[in-house]
Amino acid sequence: EFSMDEADAHVPHQLANLSSAGADHGLVTAAAGSLDSSSADDGSRPRRFAEVIKSCPVCSTSVNVGDEIYPVRNCVVPADPCPSSAVDDGPAETVNPPRFVTDESDDQVYHKKRWLWGHYACAAKLGGGVPIRPVCPYFHRRGSCAYGDTCFFAHPPSTIDAQQGSRRGRKKRKNVGKVGVFRRWLLDMFGQERLCEGSGIIDVAGGKGELAFELQNLNGVPSCVLDPRVVTVVEYASKLSAGLYNRNPVFRGYIDDAVYKNAIAKPATPHHIKMFLTQNTVDWVLGKVDGEPANDKSFFQEAMRGATGKVLVGETSKVQVYERGTSKDRMAILDEATAEVDGLCPAVPISDHAHALHVLKDASVIIGLHPDGAAEPMIDWALQAGKPFACVPCCTCSKDFPQRRLNGKAVRSYPDLCDYLQGKDPRIQRATLDMEGRNIVLFLRSGDIISRRPDESKQ
């Protein structure tokens, strides 16, 4: 129902909300041999217990609250039901072997629609004494899992190798969890205290404001989105009120408990400066436009009008009321000046030029997660203003920036773009984020910024 953060990745199988399937489901048995079994039951294995009363898909008897449960493979073609004696100590009756889908790598991976939760004893009987252990979907997809060795599911390296070997064409990248990964990296790299300094962070091309919303409501970091599109955080406020940000214990260390409790009662919305970040914007913030002293108010007003007058990809200048199954051209439109859903405004707009300049100049860290064409201006701004930054570049935008050159050649590929941007200053470092897609982050920490000499500041 919600677009879940990576922090919620393991929630569905942790709760083990059993499917009310009957005994007409086909179940993978040990004879299939396509899955790895868990190690012998020595008491150290991860365990799950039922939180609701449901029917066991193997024996059709009730699974009571507190019973130990385990997933069993649900097949497309039904097999004869496993007899109720499967939960007893006596020998189980013969079960006709089911036919099941053998789609190689995906057949081994846990999915809530392919695996059903039943009695642990039933799963053990089907596995020849030891339950068949499904592969962790996140380890399978990304090659890593935040739970590590404590994960309930298997992490076989052969699964990743098989998946990579069978891949054809360009893989579709998912955006789920990227904001959470970047937010946790920012906290590790800069620290909460540094991020909270001054007017807080500036999220360049922050889109709907998800990253800014998380930093403000989970970590108490003042945040401002610099983006020409409308910022609306109602979706993330709903996710917050549902408790989805705090459900995974692995990531609770990246949440400020006091801030989180206050946010649950009353979510905070980030500020929003509705304008493009271009080189002219950078010059305006630094005090000049086109080499001449800036007329702060007129430039700001013109930049605001320019942002509103353009048709932007994925957004309009108004707030669309999303409705599942309805095309965008038929969605209801709210006026952005008065839009309010469930008492929560889309963002706190900054329409005063002096206030906008103060927020931009006093920013603690300039950040950008896939800022498209704003990547180079934000890095130039940070370098010229002497501010730390973290930028995860994405689109090369070679047609928009034909003047970019790396070793005498046009910058047309993602690796070249990263090299080009990092080459702007020898102090810029790079790291790789634990997420799919464009995951290289270029950054400059506070300790790496060298103060200008007195004679330079006078020039």
Q: Dihedral sign, CA of 241, 250, 365, 175?
A: negative
Instruction: Give the lowest-confidence range in 32-41, 153-162, 184-193.
Output: 32-41
- Per-residue pLDDT for 49 more than 50? yes
Distances (CA, A) of 15 to 37, 104, 151: 22, 27, 14
What does the mean pLDDT of the chain come to? Answer: 74
DSSP classification of residue 150? G
Element (H, E) at 190: helix 178-190
Higher pLDDT, 429 or 30: 429
Model pLDDT, residue 389: 97
- Kindly tell me if the per-residue pLDDT of 400 is higher than 70: yes
User: Is 245 or 21 the better-scoring residue by pLDDT?
Assistant: 245
Half-sphere exposure of 263 (CA within 13 A, CB side): 29
Is the pLDDT reported for residue 158 higher than 70?
no
Task: Tally Cβ neighbours within 10 Å of residue 54.
Answer: 22
Q: Provide the sign of the torsion angle of the four alpha carbons 96, 102, 105, 110, taken in this order.
A: negative
Q: Does residue 189 register a pLDDT over 70?
A: yes
Q: What is the pLDDT of residue 76?
A: 41
Q: Could you tell me where the DSSP H helices lie in 200-294?
A: 210-219, 234-241, 257-265, 279-286
In this structure, of 73-87, 94-108, 185-199, the range with the lowest mean pLDDT score is: 94-108
Question: Residue 385 has what pLDDT?
Answer: 93
The DSSP bridge pattern shows strands 271-273 and 223-226 to be parallel
8 Å CB contact between 419 and 440:
no
Residue 296 · residue 235 · CB < 8 Å: no
pLDDT band for position 341 (cuts 50, 70, 90):
very low
Average pLDDT estimate for 272-301: 80
Q: What share of the chain in percent tops pLDDT 70?
A: 67
Instruction: Give the per-residue pLDDT at 44.
Output: 66
pTM of the full predicted structure?
Answer: 0.65
Q: What is the mean pLDDT of residues 323-341?
A: 51
Does position 119 have pLDDT exceeding 50, yes or no?
A: yes
Of residues 387 and 230, more confidently modeled: 387
Which pLDDT does position 294 carry in this prediction?
Answer: 52
For the segment 422-446, the average pLDDT, to the nearest whole number, is 92
What are the tokens at 59?
Answer: 């024996």
Q: Select the more confidently predicted residue: 208 or 203.
A: 203
Return the minimum-mean-pLDDT range out of 94-108, 178-192, 253-267.
Answer: 94-108
Q: Which residue has the higher pLDDT, 40 or 282?
A: 282
pLDDT at 440 over 80: yes
Q: Is the predicted pLDDT of residue 80 greater than 50, yes or no? A: no
pLDDT tier for residue 450 given thresholds of 50, 70 and 90:
low
Question: Looking at residue 196, what is its pLDDT?
Answer: 96
317 pLDDT higher than 80: no
> Which position has the higher pLDDT, 105 or 375?
375
b or e along 296-313 (b: 16 or more beta carbons within 10 Å of the residue's beta carbon)?
beebbeebbeebeeeeee
- Residue 164: CB atoms within 10 A of its CB come to 11
In this prediction, residue 33 has a pLDDT band, given cuts at 50, 70 and 90, of: very low
pLDDT for the residue numbered 159: 53
pLDDT at 28 over 70: no
- Check residue 386 and give its pLDDT: 94
Alpha carbon separation from 70 to 15, 17, 74, 203 (Å, rounded): 12, 11, 13, 43
| Mean pLDDT along residues 171-188 | 79
